[in-house]
Structure 1
Amino acid sequence: MISRSTIDQIFETARVEEVIGDFVNLKKSGSNFKGLSPFSDERSPSFMVSPVKQIWKDFSSGKGGNAVTFLMEHEHFTYPEALKYLARKYNIEIEKTEQTNEQKEVANERESLYLVNEFANTYFQRTLHKTDQGKSIGLSYFKERGFTMDTINTFSLGYSLDEWQGFTDEALKKGYQLEFLEKTGLTIVKEEKRFDRFKGRVMFPIHSMSGRILGFGGRILGADKKAAKYLNSPESDVYHKSKILYGLFHAKQSIAKEDNCFLVEGYTDVIQFHQSGVKNVVSSSGTALSPEQIRLINRLTKNITVLFDGDAAGIRAAVRGIDLILEQGMNVKVCSFPNGADPDSFARQNTPEELATYLEDHAKDFIQFKASLLVEDAKNDPIKKADTIREIVNSISKIPDPIKREIYVKECSNIMDISEAVLFSTLAQIGKKETQEASRQHRTEQTAFEVVRSEQPAKKVNHQYILEQKIIEILLLYGNETEEFEDLVMKEDDAGDLKMEPVIHQAKVFEKIYLDLQEDEMQFSDEQFQNLYYVIIEALHQSKEFQLKDFINKLDQKMANEVTSILMNDERYSLHDWERNHIIPKDKDKSISQLVTQTILSLRCFLIDQKVMEYKMEIAQPQNNSMGILEDVRDYLRLKTLLSKKLGKVVGSKI
């Protein structure tokens, strides 16, 4: 168990913007940060982080919380794992307890897969550095590739013994179950036999964005021509190769800082570049580039530079990836190496300065790259030249931004010496089918919408829910503030008439709200708000130094999510850059007492309206005493008139 004092220290030290910034490219937006949702496929920011409140909210998926809940949602950590991750990040000492065999058995399956991978990673590293076979074969290979010991340790490189069951026997001996060894792919089970998948290979662990081991890549060093040169872990509950980029854990901060990501093919390309000082580099690990992988990069930067070998296979791979990147609305450049060279060998053969200069000088815009590549193939053949132009325009058609499309059409016109009108016509032809399909789909949706609209009345706004939510928000933000409030007290004048006279007094915001609600015996209609209201009031009563961050951290997950949603609700509007359009939202904390009084009065007026409606329904019943009910209605309406006057005065003034 982690001690309460350690947990408190972690929450006190961790900064939500720093934690999330390791996974999402955050940009300043007023007092908050915004970015693309890491939980959905989107191109416009709907993800907000509040450094002041130390919470985040994803408006596209509805998720929200603090630094710990983000790690639990994004990385699928358990609560203790999220705490341990933050402890490592902020160098906080934490007591670790070794899991017993019984604890391993009750761990959920997904966590068991992680545990097995972590053990394997430690085992392969120990084998590399501590065994004769590991040092003479594995370590020698890495050193031949030019990797330093620091680099080997940074990427947790290892070695799997050239034995049929070396790893499997050791894992079983340590209490790990064969079921999970098989599901991670580390052990292959056939009938009564079991043997190591990565026998006799150097090992490249594949990390998640947060550093968890998801799987492995293994390179064979023997002369067995039947065996695959590289072998990856099979798909599992924790390893999906189309959704993972090798090196992203080590590159994420550099990618965000440099606002560019270099994309290569292999493990050693990434490691060699990193060692040469180019750390914003990732690899698709020999698999075809997928939209999910591109979206991982898109969270950190809009710019990708594709690096590829100078041979024909490398060129084909680069061309395939370009259109996919453009479809995701990203900016793409391409850089090729001399024939016979790849990113790994080029980095080894050149100094870090020479590598950086080469990348800067030879990175071409995708249209320049495609044009030079395809023109070389076409030469003086008119038919091939026409196909080349169509190929370039096809790539341009993938770009979702119409302004960028037009700019690239102009550039293509200049490079290929062809009129813009022809290119725009070709662009229109290419997109015609997609446009028609989109139009058909739109009409279908409109028809469905019309049917739904004709059959179902528009959903009414729940004013009571909104007002109750506002009360909770006020308590959370300003509950402990002391403010001056103006109350209207009924007094009898000399003529015997009742009049409302103003009385000014000071009070804590939470005390004012509590007493007003008690006076009218008002109850929250929403059960979640009702429970939350009493929890907040109790916390404010008990602590003179109420800290919102500490309060949220002590709530259960369901209540913490509700609090986050309430607090971040207004922030969604800052996603639209109102200030850039000269629309300046009013700060709520400039008139707290006015906000409190207005909200309470609005709720009282609403409840009076509800009560009057109930009385009107009673009058319709013949058995009821309508005269008595009418008298009650008149009393309520007189009260509402007084409250409405007060409300009008509050809205129009600064108390």
Structure 2
Amino acid sequence: MISPASIDQVFETARVEEVIGDFVQLKKAGSNFKGLSPFSDERSPSFMVSPVKQIWKDFSTGKGGTAVSFLMEHEHFTYPEAIKYLAKKYNIEIEETEQSNEQKEQANERESLYLVSEFANTYFQKILHKTDQGKSIGLSYFKERSFTEDTIKKFDLGYSLNEWQAFTDEALKQGYNIDYLAKTGLTIVKENKRFDRFKGRVMFPIKSMSGRVLGFGGRILIADKKAAKYVNSPESDIYHKSKVLYGIYHAKQSIAKEDNCYLVEGYTDVIQFHQTGIKNVVSSSGTALTSEQIRLINRLTKNITVLFDGDAAGMRASLRGIDLILEQGMNVKVCSFPEGEDPDSFAKQNTLEELTAYLESHAKDFIQFKASVLFEDSKNDPIKKAETVRDIVNSISKIPDRIKKEIYIQECARIMDISEDVLFSTLAQINKKEFQEENKQYQKEQKAFEVIKHQQPVEKVDVQYVLERKIIEVLLLYGNKTEDFEDLVLKENDKGELILEPVIHQAKVFEKVFLDLQDDEMEFTNAQFKILYYTIIDRLNQDTDFELKTFINSVDTDMSNEITTILMEDERYTLNDWNRMNIFPKEKHHSVAQLVSETILSLRCYLIDQKVKEFQQETLQNKIDTNRNILEEVKDYSGLKMLLSRKLNRVL
């Protein structure tokens, strides 16, 4: 258990924009930040972060909350794990009691898989640094690769003993369940036998963006024709190799800062580059590049530079991933190393300045690279040259941006010495089916729109819903604030006429709202708002130091989503970047007291209108002479509304 004092310190210190900025590239949008949703595949930003309110909202999925809820949604942390992550990020010491074996067993399956992986990571490091076998074999190998002690510790590199059950026996001894050891792939269970998957290998832990251990890569160090050189953890509930990039945890901040990501093939390529001083580098860990991996980078930058070995096989392998990157609307450059060199060896032999200079001078635009590689094989063969041109145009067709497409067509025409008309014709042929499908979809949408436009009535605004929502917003933002409120009290003058006389009194916003609604016996009609209203009032009554982010974290997910939707709705327009089009929406400027009075008065006027309509309906249904009492009540309500309108106008 984490102590309440530690949790409070974490909440006070953590900044939502800093926490989310580690996972999503955020750009300034007025007083807020915006970015691409990390929960959906999109190309236009619908994700917003408010530093003032310390909350975030994803309009594409409806999710929202605070820094803690973001980590729980994005990284699948439990509440305590999110608190620990933030404590580590902000160097906060937290007080907690150690988990017993019974508590470990009671943890749910996903948490248990993480616990097992974290234990394995610590165990392999201990073996590397504290045992004779680890030092003589594992540590010696890393030193041969020129990895420093700091680098080895930074990447949590380890070693698995060359014994059949060394890790499994130790894990069971420490109280970890064999089922979870098997599900993570750390232990292979066959009938009555069980043995270590990574026996006799140096270990590379594969981490998520937040630094959680998801799986491992292991390299064998002895010559064994039957054993694979590299072995990775199998797929599990926490490890999906198509959605993970090796090194992303250490590279994410540098990628966002440099606005570029270097993509390499192996673990040691990443580590060697990082040690040399280039930290914005990740690896697909020996697997074919996937769309999910590209989208992971896309959250941090639009620019990828693919690095590969100088041999022909390496070149052609990188060509396969280029089209996938282009489909995501990203900018691609490609850089090859001299023949016989790979990113690891080249970085080891050069200083940071030399490596940086080489990357800058040799990184080519994808079209130049593709043309140079393919054209070399086809320059004396017209048929092969035609295939090369079609291959390049096919890559260009993947680009979503039509302006970029045209520029690349022009560049291809120049490099390949062929007319632009021919290339545009080829592009049209390649995209013909896609264009037809897009056109069909467009016509279908237009037809549906016409049906809706002509057949469906315009939906009326639910005034009471809007006003109840506004009351919730006011309570969340200003509930604990003390304000001077002007109340206009009805008094009779010398002539016997009713007049409104101003009276100033001081009160907290939540007290003013609660008493006004109670005086008028007004009830919320929206069930969720009603629950939320009484929850907020109750919390404000009990907690003099009411904190919005603490409150959001204390309610359930549905209520948290509703709160962030209410609070962020007015700022949604900033996602559209109106300023770029010379459209400048006016920001609302209200005093808190004015906002409270205006909202409650508007609700009173609306409810009076509803009451008068009820009287009218009752009179029509009775179909008898109008009841004198009803007429009197209508007259009284109408007079009250007139007075309230005057009061409302005065506030406005």
Q: TM-score, normalising length from structure 2?
A: 0.94
* Alignment-mate amino acid for residue 500 of structure 2: E
2:37 counterpart SS class: coil
Q: Is the 8 A contact 2:393 2:427 kept in 1?
A: yes
User: Deviations along 1:492-533, whole A, 9 cap, x unmatched?
Assistant: 4455443x4351524333343233222211111123322332
CA drift at 1:478:
2.8
1:582/1:513 Cα in 2 relative to 1: closer, same or farther (>3 Å)?
Answer: farther
The answer on 1:600 being equivalent to 2:600 is yes
CA drift at 1:225:
0.8
Instruction: Give the corresponding residue for 1:174.
Output: 174
Q: What does 1:27-176 correspond to in 2, within 5 Å?
A: 27-176=27-176
Overall identity of the aligned pairs, in %? 75
- Cα distance between partner residues in 2 of 1:275 and 1:418: 45
* Alignment-mate amino acid for residue 537 of structure 1: I
1:263 counterpart SS class: strand
When structure 1 is superposed on structure 2, of 25-34 and 452-461 the one drifting more is 452-461
- Cα distance between partner residues in 2 of 1:488 and 1:241: 67
CA drift at 1:144:
1.0
Q: Is the 8 A contact 1:333 1:363 kept in 2?
A: yes
- Cα distance between partner residues in 2 of 1:582 and 1:512: 41
When structure 1 is superposed on structure 2, of 612-621 and 112-121 the one drifting more is 612-621
- Cα distance between partner residues in 2 of 1:197 and 1:453: 63
CA drift at 1:484:
4.8
- Cα distance between partner residues in 2 of 1:424 and 1:584: 39
| Aligned alpha-carbon RMSD (Å) | 2.3
User: Unpaired runs of 5+ in structure 1?
Assistant: none
- Cα distance between partner residues in 2 of 1:451 and 1:191: 64
1:429/1:619 Cα in 2 relative to 1: closer, same or farther (>3 Å)?
Answer: same
Instruction: Give the corresponding residue for 2:23.
Output: 23
When structure 1 is superposed on structure 2, of 432-441 and 618-627 the one drifting more is 618-627
CA drift at 1:146:
1.2
When structure 1 is superposed on structure 2, of 538-547 and 249-258 the one drifting more is 538-547
User: Unpaired runs of 5+ in structure 2?
Assistant: none
Instruction: Give the corresponding residue for 1:293.
Output: 293
* Alignment-mate amino acid for residue 470 of structure 1: K
CA drift at 1:112:
0.8
- Cα distance between partner residues in 2 of 1:9 and 1:220: 45
- Cα distance between partner residues in 2 of 1:109 and 1:457: 50
Q: Is the 8 A contact 1:220 1:230 kept in 2?
A: yes
* Alignment-mate amino acid for residue 524 of structure 2: F
* Alignment-mate amino acid for residue 633 of structure 1: V
User: Deviations along 1:158-194, whole A, 9 cap, x unmatched?
Assistant: 1111111111111111111111111111111111111
When structure 1 is superposed on structure 2, of 437-446 and 116-125 the one drifting more is 437-446
User: Deviations along 1:230-273, whole A, 9 cap, x unmatched?
Assistant: 11110000000000000000111111111100000111110111
1:621 counterpart SS class: helix
CA drift at 1:489:
3.6
CA drift at 1:646:
3.9
* Alignment-mate amino acid for residue 501 of structure 1: L
Q: Is the 8 A contact 2:246 2:284 kept in 1?
A: yes
User: Deviations along 1:401-422, whole A, 9 cap, x unmatched?
Assistant: 1121122122222222222222
User: Deviations along 1:97-153, whole A, 9 cap, x unmatched?
Assistant: 332221111110001111111111111111111222211111111111111111111
Q: Is the 8 A contact 1:482 1:506 kept in 2?
A: no
* Alignment-mate amino acid for residue 479 of structure 1: G
Instruction: Give the corresponding residue for 1:238.
Output: 238
When structure 1 is superposed on structure 2, of 72-81 and 639-648 the one drifting more is 639-648
- Cα distance between partner residues in 1 of 2:631 and 2:427: 73
CA drift at 1:549:
3.9
CA drift at 1:582:
4.3
Instruction: Give the corresponding residue for 1:13.
Output: 13
1:646/1:421 Cα in 2 relative to 1: closer, same or farther (>3 Å)?
Answer: farther
Instruction: Give the corresponding residue for 2:570.
Output: 570
Instruction: Give the corresponding residue for 1:633.
Output: 634
Instruction: Give the corresponding residue for 1:521.
Output: 521
Instruction: Give the corresponding residue for 1:427.
Output: 427
When structure 1 is superposed on structure 2, of 549-558 and 137-146 the one drifting more is 549-558
- Cα distance between partner residues in 1 of 2:78 and 2:473: 29
- Cα distance between partner residues in 2 of 1:626 and 1:117: 79
When structure 1 is superposed on structure 2, of 488-497 and 98-107 the one drifting more is 488-497
- Cα distance between partner residues in 2 of 1:537 and 1:582: 42
* Alignment-mate amino acid for residue 503 of structure 1: P
Instruction: Give the corresponding residue for 2:506.
Output: 507
Q: Is the 8 A contact 1:11 1:553 kept in 2?
A: no
* Alignment-mate amino acid for residue 249 of structure 2: F
CA drift at 1:5:
1.0
Q: What does 1:256-275 correspond to in 2, within 5 Å?
A: 256-275=256-275
The answer on 1:405 being equivalent to 2:405 is yes
User: Deviations along 1:190-246, whole A, 9 cap, x unmatched?
Assistant: 111111111111111100111111001111112111211111110000000000000
- Cα distance between partner residues in 2 of 1:340 and 1:180: 42
* Alignment-mate amino acid for residue 360 of structure 1: E
CA drift at 1:551:
4.3
Q: What does 1:521-560 correspond to in 2, within 5 Å?
A: 521-541=521-541, 546-555=546-555, 557-560=557-560
* Alignment-mate amino acid for residue 572 of structure 1: R
* Alignment-mate amino acid for residue 571 of structure 2: E
- Cα distance between partner residues in 2 of 1:250 and 1:166: 30
1:624/1:162 Cα in 2 relative to 1: closer, same or farther (>3 Å)?
Answer: farther
User: Deviations along 1:59-86, whole A, 9 cap, x unmatched?
Assistant: 1111111111111111111111111111
CA drift at 1:430:
1.1
Q: Is the 8 A contact 1:159 1:200 kept in 2?
A: yes
- Cα distance between partner residues in 1 of 2:375 and 2:480: 71
Q: Is the 8 A contact 1:484 1:504 kept in 2?
A: no
- Cα distance between partner residues in 2 of 1:378 and 1:552: 63
CA drift at 1:565:
2.2
CA drift at 1:390:
1.6
Q: Is the 8 A contact 2:184 2:215 kept in 1?
A: yes
* Alignment-mate amino acid for residue 507 of structure 1: Q
User: Deviations along 1:16-48, whole A, 9 cap, x unmatched?
Assistant: 111111111111222211111111111111111
- Cα distance between partner residues in 2 of 1:576 and 1:504: 44
* Alignment-mate amino acid for residue 573 of structure 2: Y
User: Alignment length, in residue pairs?
Assistant: 650
